[in-house]
Amino acid sequence: MDGKEFRDWSLKAAEWGADYRETLRERPVRAQTQPGEIAAGIALSPPEAPEAMEAIFADFEEKILPGMTHWQHPRFFAYFPANAAPVSVVAEYLVTVMAAQCMLWQTSPAATELETRIIDWLRQALGLPEGFSGVLQDSASSATLAAVLTMRERALDWQGNKQGLSGQPRIRVYSSDQVHTSIDRAIWVSGIGEENLVRIPTAGRWRAMDVAALEAAIVADKANGLLPAGIVACVGGTSTGGTDDIAAVAAVAQKYGLYLHVDAAWAGSAMICEEFRHFWTGVEHADSIVFNPHKWLGAQFDCSAQFVRNPDDLVRTLAIKPEYLKTHGKDGVVNYSEWSVPLGRRFRALKLWFLLRAHGLSGLRTMIRNHVAWAEKLAARIAATVEFEIVTEPMLSLFSFRHVPSGVTDLDEHNLRLINAINDDGRIYLTQTRVDGHFAIRFQVGQFEATEQDVDTAYSVITEIAASLR
């Protein structure tokens, strides 16, 4: 591809992208293909000779696009959002074209220095106190792994990386069952082991960790010669929005000298609105916090912000400095590859810079407040509808419900049929969970360009399809 072709196809791709975003409401939200259908249309072997871009692009539209679930669809109410505000997409064009490897300050000083400033912008936006610094990771999974590795090393007096875990005391980490499975994976990858992730029972509307049970578990483990290392607390858990009492958990962590990591991957974005910050009261006492601007805030994936109170602990855990990665003759520079597990790093700060400037905090607050209000309104409508019940009340813009028609003996199976029928219909997309062992349908409002009418459409689709099953 020569320079002219690159220009022409770049323009065509940008035009296609704009057209795609404008016509999303005309498409089914979830891919309507069957397993193997897309693969059947792809050649079994790579081509020996070059192919024309016209043919490649046509195949993209004809063979790939039908198998895509449209995460930017305004009626995507499943999982949590993976937003890509248009201004963020434009910034990503620029990042992709430059294709910089931003692992060190010297490999792109602007990427490092903008990241430092953007992290502090986010800190201020969330109301976190001065003293927190941070880094943009690819995902909350990586941020949580970095936190778990740091709590492991701190508990082992920084000998785990050097000596390995063999012969060391068994490390214990504590969380509720409402945390994301990325915590389980971090426990696996860190070598701590699944049996040493202690699940603390939960209680109350927000399914918060029982703090008395947490302290009892720590005391019992210490008495048995085990080594408590840290606690992973949750704000806005994936299933139903489970949220721990961060202040109470932090007090326990401080009492026993444990590292506290707060996972607010989805709900953290809402903390730009002061009225929602009560959900994480006490967060200033955490050792690390993660939230994903690529979820609710509008930054295109990947973009996860990890705040740390003591970056030296994180760097001491993760930094390796071979000669070829040293920055000679420059004092006081930050190399963010030393703050994360991967060495390679994308220029993630640029899309946040564009996003925050183009929308301002006021615009982003309005979006989040609307989503919360629309979710609360929809939950109230469903609760008032015959043969429906709310299973978990709204936590910000997330709640769960189920259809409970009289005469149906297996409500789990019935609601599974309902959600499958809704998703096959294509107008909206929902996911499911289990609450106290019973099947429930999750609903969350979070897509960047959703409107109140889209949420009203969801009510119509849910009740219409439920009636057809009845």
Interval 44-59: pLDDT, tens? 999 999 999 999 999 9
Alpha carbon distance 105, 334 (integer Å): 6
**φ, ψ for residue 303 (rounded to 5)?**
-170, 95
The answer to whether position 339 is within a domain reads: yes
State the CATH number of the domain containing residue 289.
3.40.640.10
Which pLDDT tens digit goes with each residue over 123-149? 999 999 999 999 999 998 899 999 999
Q: What is the pLDDT of residue 328?
A: 43
- Are 171 and 73 in the same domain? no
Instruction: Count up the domains in the chain and report the number.
Output: 2
- Are 162 and 193 in the same domain? yes
- In this structure, which amino acid lies at residue 146? A
- Are 71 and 204 in the same domain? no
Least confident of 100-104, 356-360, 430-434, 443-447: 100-104
Residue 211 structural domain: 101-346
- Are 144 and 252 in the same domain? yes
Query: Can you say whether residue 225 is alpha, beta or left, with left for phi > 0 and alpha for psi between -120 and 50 degrees?
Result: left
Q: What is the pLDDT of residue 330?
A: 54
- Are 127 and 217 in the same domain? yes
Q: What is the pLDDT of residue 322?
A: 55
Q: Is the pLDDT of residue 314 over 70?
A: yes
Q: Which tokens is 81 given? A: 């959002």
Q: Which residue, chain included where needed, has tokens 């109230």?
A: 380
Which pLDDT tens digit goes with each residue over 323-344? 445 554 456 788 888 899 888 8
- Are 175 and 33 in the same domain? no
- Are 47 and 172 in the same domain? no
**Contact (CB, 8 A) for 81 and 448:** yes
Helix, coil or strand: residue 335: coil
Q: Which tokens is 91 given? A: 């910034």
- Average pLDDT for 246-266: 96
- Are 34 and 148 in the same domain? no
The answer to whether position 363 is within a domain reads: no
Q: Is the pLDDT of residue 68 over 90?
A: yes
Task: Write out the H or E segment, with its range, that includes residue 262.
Answer: strand 259-263
**Contact (CB, 8 A) for 345 and 336:** yes
- Are 133 and 205 in the same domain? yes
Secondary structure (DSSP) of 365-393: HHHHHHHHHHHHHHHHHHHTSTTEEEEEE
Look at residues 317, 346, 375 and tell me which one is the last residue of a structural domain. 346
Q: What is the pLDDT of residue 455?
A: 97
Q: What is the pLDDT of residue 221?
A: 97
The answer to whether position 393 is within a domain reads: no
Which pLDDT tens digit goes with each residue over 16-51? 999 999 999 999 999 989 999 999 999 999 999 999
Look at residues 329, 346, 363 and tell me which one is the last residue of a structural domain. 346
State the CATH number of the domain containing residue 13.
1.20.1340.10
Q: What is the pLDDT of residue 343?
A: 84
Look at residues 322, 346, 370 and tell me which one is the last residue of a structural domain. 346
Could you tell me the pLDDT band of residue 67, with boundaries at 50, 70 and 90? very high
**φ, ψ for residue 251 (rounded to 5)?**
-65, -40
- Our measurement of the distance from residue 292's CA atom to the centroid of its chain's CA atoms, rounded to an integer in Å, reads 5
